[in-house]
Amino acid sequence: MKTEQLFNAIRSGEADQVKMILNENPALIQEKDPRGSTPLLLATYYGFIDIAEELMQWDGAINAKDASGNTALMGVCFKGYPEIAKLLIEKGADVNIQNFNGATALIYAATFNQKEIIELLLQKGADPNVMDSRGLKAVDHAKMQGLKDIVNMLEND
């Protein structure tokens, strides 16, 4: 019941409610929703930086994976939240971790035309040569999407 309340508060962007629930039961930070998302994964996916910051104070398992093997950093690269990407990296998110299909945060950022996030990832050590399970690199995904600016960024790194 409390787990559901926590996840509903996160989805609704209710930072005070999230904090109150965790004060009452700190172990809930380790729970997962039916899709395998941790509280931090969910907060970052919805773009709630204030809730994400709060959850990281509770040891929100920064590199935890959902049921598809995606991390919070991968989710913000897909959704396009550069401020949250920066925060996650500052707090220790692994920029080269791969999901179950071999995709990385850089591959997601390249696929979804997230220039600012790509620059950040490259500055923080993201490896543009990592291949997914299909043998494709971030630059290959950008080429398939017709994203010439992204291709140039990745080829000139």
pLDDT bucket at 136, cuts 50 / 70 / 90: very high
* 151-154 long-range contacts, CB within 8 A, separation 24+: 153/115, 153/118, 153/119, 153/122, 154/110, 154/118, 154/128
Q: Write the pLDDT tens digit of every residue in 78-114.
A: 999 999 999 999 999 999 999 999 999 999 999 999 9
What whole-number distance in Å separates Cα of residue 70 and Cα of residue 113? Answer: 18
Q: Write the pLDDT tens digit of every residue in 14-44.
A: 999 999 999 999 999 999 998 899 999 999 9
Q: Give me 34's structure tokens.
A: 């039916």
Tell me, what's the pLDDT at 61? Answer: 85
